[in-house]
Structure 1
Amino acid sequence: MILSFVLGLLLGFLTLLWYRGQVQQRLRQVLSELKPHHAMSSLPVLSQLSTAIANQNRKHQILENRLQRYQSMLEHAPIGFLHIDEENRLVWCNHFARTLFNLSLSPFAQPSAQPRLLLEVIRSYELDQLIEQVRQDGQSCDVEWTFFPINANPARVRKQKSYGLRGYGIPLFENHIGIFIENRQELVVLKQQRDRWTSDVAHELKTPLTSIRLIAETLQSRLDPALVGWADRLVSQSARLSTLVQDLLDLSQMEVEGSEQHSLRLKAVSLPELIKAAWRNLDPIACKKDLSFQYIGPSQLTAYLDESRMYRVMVNLLDNSIKYSPPRETVIVKVQTIGGMRASDSGAEMLPEDGSSEGKGPIIRDNHGVSLRERSHCSTELVHHWLQIEVMDAGHGFLDHDLPHIFERFYRADVSRTRPASQNSDQMTENAINHHSISHRSRKGLSGTSFQGEKLSQPGGTGLGLAIVHQIIRAHKGYVEAQNHPQTGGAVIRIRLPQEALAS
């Protein structure tokens, strides 16, 4: 009996020692995960664990306070934020987003609010597409669109106003998505006001400029030969201003019509003949610099285009190439159909025949007026076939800081690509005044060579040519990009039109 008791006591004691060892081992594992300071290594395990837990609690409190500060900053940020879970439910949105979309959802202070399906509270197909694109690619994307609010009250439908938005999507934890929403309606309104003002001014200037030009042309045959040069210059400058006014009117009209294809007069056009006709129209100017023209591409290629507007595109591009090419060089236009091109981070990317991703994207791409996936600044697997037109000159090319802006209206590149117009004009005026006051010579000193030669030898323009090109290509559902030729350094303007433009 006593022996059994002793054996039981011994077994219990051994079991206690084993359990204590297990507890000590587990405490050491927990302690190692807490990563205590090396100075506490001489203390007992329980003391080390107690100190480590206290330190972790302090760190946890610091992180909680920091998280609350960030949440408060996000709540009061002047930009909207939407938190979307893996099932496309709206978990939370900040004050700006609630006001923008007329929502009433709980802030971070009430995280227990039941998430609702995003499309139940915000009816926006573009926003839903942006979320899917971010989730699919696993990287940030952004897109612009016009949001049309929906109101259940029919009496208030006419009072609802649309506004322009830009959304920035970022991947979060566990397949959640964060969307930053920027209200760009103020910029849209300012742009509309600018365009309206520009159009009104252009309309008002058109008639007086025509009158000035007619008067100057009438005076040309009645003035003293020594003064005819001034009339010639007046005619030239009034013609230049008339061209500027007409460009403004055309650009405003195209922007009002928008990028809808119904604004175009599409028909089957022989593209090689259209390009050659545009060059023949500019051939007298090219002959002044002894420039040659080379067309590379199929001799017969029919495309469905707006002939008059595409002709305007080619005239504008070829005119630029003539202005900025040195004498006795060649302007090249290359036309080809390409297959296997997809949008990428750099704007567009050529795919080899095997479908791999090797290729070289352009330096700058126009991202306005194309599809949602192409406007999103992230990669996509959509592969298209395109009609590509490249216009290449032998000039100095574009400066890197000019490339993002060359399709903006009134933008003029640096001196490597253009001339200081006011300086040249002032110098020309001063020379003409000195020449007239000293000798009163014949017309040759003031007109002809002096004015026209300077105009042809020094490139200039209104800064609207490429903006008009962009607008026309946008209406054709294509896009235009610019870069410098890797070998020659000359400018390359590349147009890509969707395969729907190709006639079967």
Structure 2
Amino acid sequence: MFQSARLKLTIWYVLISLVVSIIFSLTVYTLLARELQRNEQRLEGRLQLMRGLNPGFRPNFEMHRQDLALTESAVRWYLVYVNLFILLMTSAAGYLLAGRTLSPIKTMVDKQNQFVADASHELRTPLTALKTAVEVSLRDKNLDIKQAKEVLNANLEDVNRLVTLADELLILATLNTVKKQLLEELSLTQVIQDAIKSVKYLGKQKQVKIETTLSEISLVGDRERLLKMLVIFLDNAIKYSPAKSVIRVTAIKTDSKAQVSISDQGAGIGAKDLPHIFERFYRADKSRSKTKIEGYGLGLAIAKEILDLYKGTVAVESRPGQGTTFTIHLPLKIN
């Protein structure tokens, strides 16, 4: 599909260039032809004058007309050659330009197709589990109330996972523009504290302590999106931290940016996984923790989308067995 679109766009580039070139050539040829005719008339006038002054002078009008005709013919051929050269050049340049024009579109379409395929796969897994559980239960003639409740509880877990996936997909779909009406001057320090409160229960379950060193920082941003991003990073740190460990959160102001660091004492991330952790649906081959981590691999992708939207950046430092540090940089003002 991409190759076909590239060829079609190339043809349009060539046709437009060729039409412009032909119009320009016709204009040049018309002006030159008129100028040659005027020169011919002036030359004949001068020769007639010289003949009048010198009766013995015999000008060769036919030779001059042939010279002018040859000149006119040469101009025509030059213009033909120029147009052929332009045709060849625009064909090559048009093909390259079409490729560069369509390349971002192709990348976007490929990502979209991959996203749809991954989302379909992730949706299919819990749906298949639901369908299988219901079918098996319906066929079991000896199913009692206790077993039925167990099936319903398992189905409810699958439904909750589907709801979570749908919510995350919806967030990704709506993260396309900065909503100016939601921008406000706010305390990043307070947003960080609110994010910590949001994950407080999860931390208590694993007896993970969160230590903070926060400078007072104000910036312009969308509070809900910033809160969502910080909750994702904190939730991720808690999930992959061992029990009774410590997560350290620091926030400082550097020039025109705010820097937030979140460090955990988890198992770390392998070098082969680091370049991919912000990709949608990406999960490491080996879990960073000894226990199974629930999720679809969309959290960090959402956080990165929010950062990109607000011109922020994130750096990751991690080594297996030594924990992971996410360092976030946010501009204090959004242009």
CA distance in 2, matches of 1:261, 1:164: 30
Q: How does 1:265-280 map to 2 (within 5 A)?
A: 265-280=182-197
CA distance in 1, matches of 2:313, 2:260: 11
CA distance in 2, matches of 1:276, 1:228: 39
Q: Which amino acid aligns with 1:471?
A: E
Which of 323, 328, 334 is the aligned partner of 2:250? 334
Please state whether the residue corresponding to 2:173 is helix, strand or coil: helix
Return the offset for 1:190: 2.9
Q: Deviations over 1:264-285 (max 9, x none)?
A: 7211222222222222222222
CA distance in 2, matches of 1:412, 1:274: 28
Preserved contact between residue 198 and residue 248 of structure 1 (Cα < 8 Å) = no
Which of 180, 183, 186 is the aligned partner of 2:106? 186
From the superposition, tell whether residues 290 and 274 of structure 1 become closer, same or farther in structure 2 (CA, over 3 Å): same
Return the offset for 1:98: 7.5
Q: How does 1:295-310 map to 2 (within 5 A)?
A: 295-298=212-215, 300-310=216-226
Preserved contact between residue 246 and residue 265 of structure 2 (Cα < 8 Å) = yes
Preserved contact between residue 165 and residue 185 of structure 1 (Cα < 8 Å) = no
Return the offset for 1:324: 0.5
Return the offset for 1:245: 1.4
Tell me, yes or no, if structure 1 residue 472 matches structure 2 residue 311. Answer: no
Return the offset for 1:294: 1.0
Please state whether the residue corresponding to 2:325 is helix, strand or coil: strand
Tell me, yes or no, if structure 1 residue 240 matches structure 2 residue 74. Answer: no
Please state whether the residue corresponding to 2:199 is helix, strand or coil: helix
Please state whether the residue corresponding to 1:492 is helix, strand or coil: strand
Q: Deviations over 1:361-394 (max 9, x none)?
A: xxxxxxxxxxxxxxxxxxxxxxxx3211111111
Preserved contact between residue 386 and residue 497 of structure 1 (Cα < 8 Å) = yes
The aligned residue for residue 56 of structure 2 is: none
Please state whether the residue corresponding to 2:322 is helix, strand or coil: coil
Please state whether the residue corresponding to 1:313 is helix, strand or coil: helix
Give the % identical residues. 27
Q: How does 1:200-279 map to 2 (within 5 A)?
A: 224-225=145-146, 227-254=148-175, 257=176, 260-262=177-179, 265-279=182-196
Tell me, yes or no, if structure 1 residue 405 matches structure 2 residue 322. Answer: no
The aligned residue for residue 481 of structure 1 is: 315
The aligned residue for residue 463 of structure 1 is: 297
Q: Which amino acid aligns with 1:481?
A: A
Return the offset for 1:262: 3.9
Q: Which amino acid aligns with 2:243?
A: P
Please state whether the residue corresponding to 2:211 is helix, strand or coil: strand
Tell me, yes or no, if structure 1 residue 292 matches structure 2 residue 209. Answer: yes
| TM-score, normalising length: structure 2 | 0.60
Please state whether the residue corresponding to 1:248 is helix, strand or coil: helix
Preserved contact between residue 335 and residue 389 of structure 1 (Cα < 8 Å) = yes
More helix by share: 2
Tell me, yes or no, if structure 1 residue 493 matches structure 2 residue 309. Answer: no
Q: How does 1:75-474 map to 2 (within 5 A)?
A: 102=14, 165=100, 183-195=103-115, 224-225=145-146, 227-254=148-175, 257=176, 260-262=177-179, 265-298=182-215, 300-339=216-255, 385-417=256-288, 457-474=291-308
Preserved contact between residue 229 and residue 303 of structure 2 (Cα < 8 Å) = yes
Return the offset for 1:317: 0.9
Return the offset for 1:189: 2.5
From the superposition, tell whether residues 319 and 498 of structure 1 become closer, same or farther in structure 2 (CA, over 3 Å): same
Preserved contact between residue 266 and residue 322 of structure 2 (Cα < 8 Å) = yes
From the superposition, tell whether residues 248 and 395 of structure 1 become closer, same or farther in structure 2 (CA, over 3 Å): same
| TM-score, normalising length: structure 1 | 0.41
From the superposition, tell whether residues 462 and 416 of structure 1 become closer, same or farther in structure 2 (CA, over 3 Å): closer
From the superposition, tell whether residues 229 and 332 of structure 1 become closer, same or farther in structure 2 (CA, over 3 Å): farther
CA distance in 2, matches of 1:191, 1:225: 45
From the superposition, tell whether residues 101 and 320 of structure 1 become closer, same or farther in structure 2 (CA, over 3 Å): farther
Return the offset for 1:460: 2.8
More strand by share: 1
Instruction: Give unmatched runs, 5+ long, in structure 1.
Output: 1-77, 79-94, 115-120, 123-146, 150-162, 167-181, 216-222, 340-384, 420-456
Preserved contact between residue 399 and residue 414 of structure 1 (Cα < 8 Å) = no
Q: Which amino acid aligns with 2:301?
A: A
From the superposition, tell whether residues 307 and 476 of structure 1 become closer, same or farther in structure 2 (CA, over 3 Å): same
From the superposition, tell whether residues 414 and 471 of structure 1 become closer, same or farther in structure 2 (CA, over 3 Å): same
Instruction: Give unmatched runs, 5+ long, in structure 2.
Output: 22-81, 87-92, 135-143
CA distance in 1, matches of 2:315, 2:100: 24
CA distance in 1, matches of 2:276, 2:180: 26
From the superposition, tell whether residues 198 and 460 of structure 1 become closer, same or farther in structure 2 (CA, over 3 Å): closer
CA distance in 1, matches of 2:12, 2:228: 42
